[in-house]
A = this chain, B = another copy of it.
Amino acid sequence: MTNAISIFDTTLRDGTQGEGISLSAEDKIKIALKLDALGVHYIEGGNPGSNGKDIEFFQRAKSLGLSAKLTAFGSTRRKNSLAEQDSSLVRIIESGVPAATLVGKSWDFHVHTALQTTLEENLAMIYDSIAFLKRSGLEAMFDAEHFFDGFKNNPEYALSVLKNAHNAGADWLVLCDTNGGTLPGEIHDIVTRVRQEINAPIGIHTHNDCELAVANTLAAVQAGARQVQGTINGYGERCGNANLCSIIPTLQLKMNYNCVTDQQLQSLTGTARYVSEIANVNMPVGQPYVGNAAFAHKGGIHVSAIMKDSKTYEHISPELVGNKQRILVSELAGQSNIVSKAFELGLDVNANTDKTKDIMNHIKELEHQGYQFEGADASLELLLREAYGESTELFKVESFKMLVDKTNGHMVSEAIVKISVDGQMVYTAAEGNGPVNALDNALRKALVQFYPEIENIHLSDYKVRVIDEKDATAAKVRVLVESSDFDNTWSTVGVSSNVIEASWEALVDSIRYALLGMSKVEPANSESKERLGLVNH
């Protein structure tokens, strides 16, 4: 049978069931365009029967000229009623989509408990609804809800539901592990059984409640399923849906199935990061294939082996999915991490092996003090460039003061900074809604006359970590600051027993780095651009 797998993306529908995920019609348009560029075959846009936002999306999406098929989602008709008069079915047809997915019950327990009707009426609801879509000229997918739980509980009925949808003209029978509790072996056996009983195109729709959604999807494909339903980054209700960002590359690179073109596959990382930006959900740093750490190496032994042959600790070449290798510098690392980082920066390491050793020791000493450079590439780069004799000082901090005052419930935070640029002294002050914000405002205010471009820089992330808790309030804190301009993102670090001083250190590094224009050559750029969705694929 064919090796072509039909990719059905439901990020815009099932994905929005995830906690904290809410997409406007405009967001959905942006994501649909990305999904189309990635090469998915179906884009499920929403449920026109449930809300006006989705109706608006389908209206606007018509003019996008997508190669992917837009599909609408709905339920089978209400019990004891006519499909032709079911408002949600009618809205699906009115939305003008070429294809639709209808969800129906295949677990007898659900028919009794949730639907509270007879097994026969449930069959009729499914038949009538699918037949109505087909009469209306749509491609029809039938989502057999809870199919695997249903099959385990009452195989005859679960199969009769599928046969019924098939007889009504369903183009795809999609088997759903709605509660995400089924194991890969069960999925494989049950899909195999279904294919023996029914000769129809089979799809698979899994959830991640046992952290097995990807494995369950692959097991179904191996048993003959040819449509895969999932979401970008695995967004979805509870623990999420099957993650297409892991399924697509595994099917294509490791199992010889065809999902998208090799070129489209290279846009996977960009797509994943773009969608996470639009959905405003932080991506787990270690997300398989597309995460920022998916090909990041920290252990010293690993790094020295990677230098010899990246195959030693990488299961695929990161470029195949548009990701890239990163070498993290950390206490666990041998010298090789630093050397390769210096190479990245074009610094002449070999000519300076003694100096490299000194730098290595200096960095180890800093890490011992609590610095952590794996999350602060920009600070590390400043450090290395200075060590190799490049001057990176653009302004000198003479002093700063920070005052927080709360009287009668009224909070004030103000910062006073004194800096000099080429011997010219600037003394200024600013307020903020917190001490760090006040310091940031004062520093910018002092520098903007010399470096107007500072207006384009903003802090995009701020993290504080108490390093050594043995001494509670006297403990050291590490501050990580991430800054962005239009094209780039970079991170710096500060450490002190004083959270204000640590924040100040990271702020100053961040702005020095930006003003030195290093961000323009920083290797992470292209990736950051993708993250911010500033490059077109």
Residues in chain A within 8 A of chain B (CB atoms): 16-20, 22, 24, 26-27, 50-51, 53, 75, 109-110, 113-114, 178-181, 183-185, 208-212, 214-215, 218-219, 222, 234, 236-240, 243, 246, 250, 254-255, 280, 282, 284-289, 291-299, 301-302, 304-305, 308-309, 311-316, 328, 330-332, 372, 374-375, 398-408, 411, 413, 432-437, 440, 458-470, 472-475, 477, 481-482, 496-501, 504
What chain B residues lie within 8 Å of A474 (beta carbons)?
432-434, 437
Residues of B within 8 A of A400 (CB): 405-406
CA A302 to CA B110, docked complex, whole Å? 11
Known contacts A210-B288, A499-B434; decide if A330 and B22 are in contact (CB<8 Å): yes
Contacting pair A215 B462 (CB below 8 A): no
Contact B462 A472 (CB under 8 A): yes
Partner of A473, one of B285, B432, B472: B432
A314 touches B183 (CB 8 A): no
B287 touches A239 (CB 8 A): yes
Contacts of A311 in B (CB 8 A): 109
Q: How far is the CA of A293 from the CA of B239 in the complex (A)?
A: 7
CB contact between A405 and one of B19, B401, B468 (< 8 Å): that residue = B401
Check B211 against A288 for contact (C-beta < 8 Å): yes
7 smallest CB-CB distances across A and B, nearest first, come from A181-B315, A215-B215, A459-B472, A211-B246, A114-B305, A434-B498, A399-B407
With A181-B316, A314-B179 already in contact, the answer to whether A299 and B114 are too (CB < 8 A) is: no
Supply 19 further A-B pairs (C-beta < 8 A) apart from A17-B298, A404-B435, A435-B498: A16-B332, A17-B299, A18-B298, A19-B292, A24-B467, A26-B469, A114-B308, A184-B184, A185-B222, A209-B289, A209-B294, A210-B246, A238-B286, A238-B293, A239-B286, A239-B288, A413-B500, A433-B497, A462-B469
